């Protein structure tokens, strides 16, 4: 099968989901479509040529891709690979981004210079897409931002550049929650070229609340004005705990602590990465999860979490500049539980060294001195999936001692200490080594393991231990939806609200 004479392949079909802007629901819809096609017996893969995200995932062979593409691959029932997200941009301090190509760091460039490289990177994108097409029945492609961003159009390699190259049908998604959905759809279509307009085969309205009958005149207007079908209206979805593509969940409140709930605070670092590490805590009924940036918001939590960050030294400076360092130290003196993950773990140590200036122009900075470790940055990046055992002898992790957990590492630094007490023992691929550290009293712990709270038994052991300290009873195990059940629920919702027969026809699978 040929596409504009550029890709010659067997039978793979393509379907692309673009949006009128960021955060309209593209990732969610691609996830749902991947699962629907998988349920219907097709071999399906997700694809996003370029992703800007600090929530990332490590593939089985140690490549780094966007978290959303890993989730979409899971929904499709296939192993995530670097071809599903060949270009990953990870913003750093000073308006720079690390460019990850096929899962490995390539260069770090100022934001304004990145577009000098897109024509070269486009070749990598095409090669990855070609490989996927040779292996799957259908590839569901996700765009980025919106296709009508005229200031970026000349250099973009994620939206209409890919659609034109492959002659791929496009579904355009608009978000009615933010208002102006009809104007955004019509305006987007107006700013496309004649060729690009022909590729847009239908619209999806997302995040609708209320009576659909009130919306019908607008839908009729949209179809008459654009001569394209509205393929469906998706309701606002709540209580589906699938990983966010980037930043923090929109539905996490900073509400006041509720009686018999554990108050867990995550420090909302400016360059927070892998915030998805803490989404499993959000779904626990006895947890009030808050994100804070100022000491006045801290109050008296049960747990403080220092999350991962793309720029440890810059975010440590942020903590110092607004007084959070003193507030966290005071909480530590009051025996509040404190956990650092990846960059947050590095901050808890005595000192951070950067002699090769991997992260900044500084040679070193003082840490918060809550753990007896020092961290040194090296140009080589560690990315691997791991299995580990909890080995902490006392304190906040002892209720989980002996449990096996799975996770993944993504970090530039290595942390060492003369009298370090490890929190975990990693045993992966026949190699065993200690991970993390825990304080002498067991109240402060750090680890390089991302995805730790995805392990249900570990999560509940940790939370129930805190509950017992507060005089609460342990919580009965909840019948939480598995990830596959969440995918099924999402797929059912989309099937019930979109015209899947038309989508099948548009994709060429019918």
Q: Which residues are catalytic?
A: 342, 450
Phi and psi, residue 410, nearest 5°: -145, 100
Q: Tell me the C-alpha distance between 369 and 311, whole Å.
A: 18
Which residue from 299, 312, 383 is spatially nearest to 349, judged by alpha carbons?
A: 312
Q: How far apart are CA 426 and CA 370, in angstroms?
A: 23
Compute the distance between CA of residue 1 and CA of residue 197 in angstroms, rounded to an integer.
Answer: 23
DSSP readout, 79-144? ---GGGS-EEEEE-STTEEEEEETTEEEEEEEGGGGGGSHHHHHHHHHHHHHHHHHH-SEEEEE--
Residues 6+ apart with CB under 8 A from 28: 206, 237, 242, 490
Coil, strand or helix: which one is 29? helix
Which one-letter DSSP state was computed for residue 173? E
CB 208 within 8 A of CB 238: no
Cβ neighbours of residue 82 closer than 8 Å, sequence gap 6 or more: 59, 61, 63, 64, 65, 102, 103, 128
209-212: list long-range contacts, CB under 8 Å, 24+ apart. 209/177, 209/235, 209/236
Instruction: List the structure tokens of 410.
Output: 């993504």
Q: Are strands 50-52 and 44-47 parallel, antiparallel or unpaired?
A: unpaired
């Amino acid at each position: 099968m040929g596409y504009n004479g550029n890709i010659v392949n067997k039978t793979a079909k393509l379907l692309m989901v673009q949006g009128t802007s960021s955060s309209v629901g593209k990732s969610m819809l691609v996830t749902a479509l991947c699962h629907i096609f998988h349920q219907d017996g097709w071999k399906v893969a997700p694809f996003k040529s370029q992703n800007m995200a600090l929530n990332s995932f490590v593939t089985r062979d140690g490549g780094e891709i966007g978290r959303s593409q890993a989730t979409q691959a899971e929904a499709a029932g296939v192993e995530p690979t670097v071809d599903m997200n060949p270009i990953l941009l990870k913003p750093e301090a000073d308006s720079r981004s690390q460019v990850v190509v096929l899962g490995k760091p390539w260069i770090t460039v100022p934001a304004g210079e990145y577009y000098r490289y897109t024509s070269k990177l486009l070749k990598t994108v095409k090669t990855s897409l070609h490989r996927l097409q040779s292996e799957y029945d259908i590839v569901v492609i996700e765009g980025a931002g919106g296709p009508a961003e005229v200031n970026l159009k000349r250099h973009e390699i994620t939206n209409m550049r890919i659609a034109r190259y492959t002659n791929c049908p496009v579904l355009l998604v608009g978000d009615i929650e933010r208002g102006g959905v009809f104007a955004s759809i019509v305006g987007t279509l107006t700013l496309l070229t004649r060729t690009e307009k022909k590729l847009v085969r239908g619209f999806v309205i997302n995040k609708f609340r209320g009576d659909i009958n009130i919306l019908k005149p607008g839908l009729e207007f949209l179809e008459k004005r654009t001569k394209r079908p509205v393929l469906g209206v998706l309701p606002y979805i709540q209580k589906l705990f699938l990983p966010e593509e980037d930043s923090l969940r929109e539905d996490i409140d900073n509400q006041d602590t509720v009686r018999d709930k554990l108050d867990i605070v995550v420090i909302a670092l400016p360059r927070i990465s892998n915030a998805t590490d803490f989404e499993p805590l959000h779904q626990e009924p006895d947890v009030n999860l808050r994100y804070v940036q100022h000491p006045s918001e801290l109050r008296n939590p049960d747990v403080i979490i220092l999350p991962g960050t793309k720029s440890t030294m810059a975010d440590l400076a942020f903590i110092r500049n607004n007084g959070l360092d003193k507030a966290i130290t005071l909480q530590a003196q009051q025996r509040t539980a404190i956990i650092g993950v990846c960059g947050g773990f590095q901050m808890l140590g005595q000192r951070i060294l950067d002699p090769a200036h991997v992260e900044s122009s500084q040679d070193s900075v003082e840490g918060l001195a809550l753990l007896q470790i020092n961290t040194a940055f090296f140009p080589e990046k560690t990315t691997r999936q791991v299995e580990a055992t909890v080995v902490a002898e006392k304190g906040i992790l002892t209720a989980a001692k002996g449990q096996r957990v799975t996770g993944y590492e993504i970090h530039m630094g290595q942390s060492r200490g003369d009298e370090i007490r490890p929190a975990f023992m990693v045993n992966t691929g026949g190699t065993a080594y200690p991970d993390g550290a825990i304080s002498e009293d067991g109240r402060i712990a750090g680890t390089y393991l991302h995805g730790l709270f995805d392990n249900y038994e570990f999560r509940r052991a940790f939370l129930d231990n805190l509950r017992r300290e507060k005089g609460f009873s342990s919580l009965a195990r909840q019948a939480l939806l598995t990830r596959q059940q969440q995918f099924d629920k999402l797929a059912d919702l989309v099937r019930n609200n979109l015209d899947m027969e038309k989508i099948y026809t548009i994709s060429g699978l019918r």
